[in-house]
Chains A and B, each alone.
Chain A
Amino acid sequence: MKRPVLCLAMLLFLPPAVATADDTTELEALLHEQVVSTATQTSEAASAAPALSTSIRADDLRRYGIRSLDEAVNFLSLGLVTNKDQNFAEIGARGVLINNDFAVHVLVLVDGHMMNEEWGGVVYPDRGLGIPLEIVDHIEVIVGPGSVLYGSHAMSGVINVVTKRARDYAGFHSLLETEHRTLAPISGRIGLGYGGEFSLFGKRGDVVAIGEYYRRHGPAVTFDKQYYAPVDADGNPVPVRFAPNGEPGVWGPVAQRSWDVRAPSLFARARLGDVEAMLRGSLYQRQQPDAGPGLATDMPFDDPRSFERDQWLSADIKYHRTVSELLDVRTRVYGDYYKYLWQPEAYDPSQCWGASPSGCKLRVLGEALWGGVAVDGTLDWLHDARLVTLAGAEGRLRSYTGIQDEVSRDTGVNAAYVPSYQHTEGLLGVFVEQIIRPLRARPLPPLTLNLGARLDADHRFGTALSPRAAVVAQAWRGGALKAIYSEAFRAPTAYELYYSAPTTQVQADALRPEKVRSVEALAEQRFGTHKLLFGVFRSWWDDLVAPHYLSEAEITAATAQGKLSDAADVGQVNQSRNIAHIDNWGFNGGFEGWKLGGSLRYAFNVTGAYSRLDTGEGGSVLLQASPSLFGNARISYDLPGVLPTVALATRMTGRQQARGDFKPPAYAPTQVELRLTVTGDVPGVKGLSYRAMGNYATASRDPYAIGPTRKGSPDEAHLLPVEHFEGLLGLSYDVP
Chain B
Amino acid sequence: MSGSAQEHAPLDRRHIGRRALLLMLGLGLALPKFARADDDITVPVALQVQLLAKVISYDRNFAARSRDGVRVLIVASPRSAESRRSAEMLRAALSDLPSLGGRPHEDQVIAYEGAAALARSTEHAAVVYLTPGLGDEIEAIAASLDGHDILSVSAVGAHVPRGVVLGFDLSAGSPKLLAHLVQARKQHVAFDPLVLKLMRVYP
Contacts and interface: CB of A to CB of B under 8 A. Distances in A.
Contacts of A319: 28, 33
Contacts of A140: 173
Contacts of A409: none
Contact of A425 (B17, B81, B88, B101): B17
A58 B177 CA distance: 18
B172 A58 contact: yes
B116 interface: no
B182 interface: no
A384 B92 contact: yes
A137 interface: yes
B176 interface: yes
B36 A273 contact: yes
A682 B17 CA distance: 56
Interface stretch (A15-23, A71-79, A534-542): A15-23
Given A18-B63, A425-B14, A321 B31 contact: yes
A27 B25 contact: no
B195 A24 contact: yes
B42 A459 contact: no
A394 B59 CA distance: 49
Interface residues of B, number: 65
B165 to A, nearest CB: 17
B16 A426 contact: yes
Most buried by A among B85, B96, B101: B85
A640 interface: no
A325 B85 contact: yes
Given A325-B88, A383-B85, A384-B91, A397 B21 contact: yes
B188 interface: no
Given A43-B42, A58-B172, A597-B197, A385 B51 contact: no
B44 interface: yes
Contacts of A59: 172
Query: Which interface class (under 10, 10 to 19, 20 to 34, 35 or more) fits A?
Result: 35 or more
Contact of A28 (B33, B47, B89, B198): B198
Contacts of A384: 85, 88-89, 91-92
B28 A333 contact: yes
Nearest to B60: A18
Interface string A615-630: 0000000000000000
Contacts, number: 189
Contacts of A422: none
Given A17-B62, A21-B194, A35 B17 contact: no
Interface stretch (A123-131, A198-206, A307-315): A198-206
A322 interface: yes
A18 B57 contact: yes
Interface string B118-161: 00000000000000000000000000000000000000001000
A372 interface: yes
Interface in B18-71: 18, 20-21, 23-25, 27-29, 31-38, 42-47, 50-51, 54-55, 57-60, 62-63, 66
Given A23-B54, A395-B24, A329 B31 contact: yes
B172 A57 contact: yes
B171 interface: yes
A383 B84 contact: yes
B51 A426 contact: no
A374 B27 CA distance: 10
Interface in A247-281: 273-274
A325 B88 CA distance: 9
Contact of A274 (B25, B36, B42, B47): B36
Contact of B13 (A24, A137, A325, A426): A426
A661 interface: no
A544 to B, nearest CB: 25
A34 B17 contact: no
Contacts of B14: 424-426, 459
A673 interface: no
Contacts of A380: 85
Contacts of A43: 42-44
A45 interface: yes
Nearest to B51: A30
Nearest to B101: A17
Contacts of B57: 16-19, 23
A372 B25 CA distance: 9
A274 B43 CA distance: 18
Contacts of B113: none
Contacts of A201: 35
Contacts of B21: 372-373, 395-397, 426
A18 B192 contact: yes
A33 B174 contact: yes
Most buried by A among B14, B32, B44: B44
A72 to B, nearest CB: 13
Contacts of A55: 173-174
A225 interface: no
Contact of B58 (A18, A35, A36, A202): A18
A49 to B, nearest CB: 11
Nearest to A26: B54
B172 A375 contact: no
Given A30-B175, A329-B28, A393-B20, 15 more contacts: A15-B103, A19-B192, A24-B198, A26-B54, A27-B54, A34-B173, A35-B44, A137-B171, A374-B24, A382-B88, A395-B17, A396-B17, A425-B13, A426-B14, A426-B18
- When A and B form their complex, which 4 residue pairs have the shortest distance between CB atoms, in order from nearest? A426-B17, A331-B28, A138-B173, A17-B63
13 contacts: A27-B51, A57-B172, A137-B171, A205-B38, A319-B33, A322-B82, A375-B24, A380-B85, A383-B85, A396-B17, A425-B14, A426-B18, A459-B17
Interface of A: 15-19, 21, 23-24, 26-28, 30-36, 43-45, 48, 55, 57-59, 137-138, 140, 162, 168, 201-205, 273-274, 319, 321-326, 328-329, 331, 333, 372-375, 380, 382-386, 393-397, 424-428, 438, 459, 597
